[in-house]
């Protein structure tokens, strides 16, 4: 699953983006990958690992909700059928 969010244009600043990716690892666990930064610039990446899908999905939704509260808007979602 992938969620891509972005802020609107601000005075003299490019929009910011925040991307969340839920992926299965090779050992059967799950990772929530966050990437964020300014549009057209190098961003930062953070990975969190979970032993089960439910915990990873819950963490992903918590992060998404926090960013929505900070003013980000969802641009698109891939794998939406997996949302709980």
Domain count, the chain: 1
19: exposed, middle or buried (Cβ count in 10 Å: 0-12, 13-18, 19+): middle
Instruction: Enter the pTM of the model.
Output: 0.86
Given this model, what pLDDT does residue 37 score?
Answer: 95
- CATH number of the domain encompassing residue 9: 2.20.140.10
Give residue 81's pLDDT. Answer: 63
Show the domain range for 34.
2-82
What pLDDT score was predicted for residue 83? 55
pLDDT for the residue 4: 96
Contacts 24+ apart (CB under 8 A), 18-27: 18/67, 18/72, 20/60, 20/63, 20/64, 22/56, 22/57, 22/60, 22/79, 22/82, 25/49
pLDDT by position in tens, the chain (length 84):
999 999 988 788 889 999 999 999 999 999 999 999 998 888 999 999 999 999 999 999 999 999 999 999 999 999 856 554
């Amino acid at each position: 699953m992938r969620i891509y969010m972005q802020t609107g244009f601000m005075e003299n600043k490019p929009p910011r983006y925040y991307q969340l990716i839920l992926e299965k690892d090779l050992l059967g666990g799950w990772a929530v990958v966050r990437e964020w930064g300014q549009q057209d610039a190098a961003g930062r990446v953070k990975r969190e690992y979970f032993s089960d899908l439910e915990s990873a999905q819950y963490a992903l939704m918590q992060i998404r909700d926090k960013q929505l509260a900070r003013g980000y808007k969802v641009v698109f979602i891939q794998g939406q059928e997996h949302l709980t």
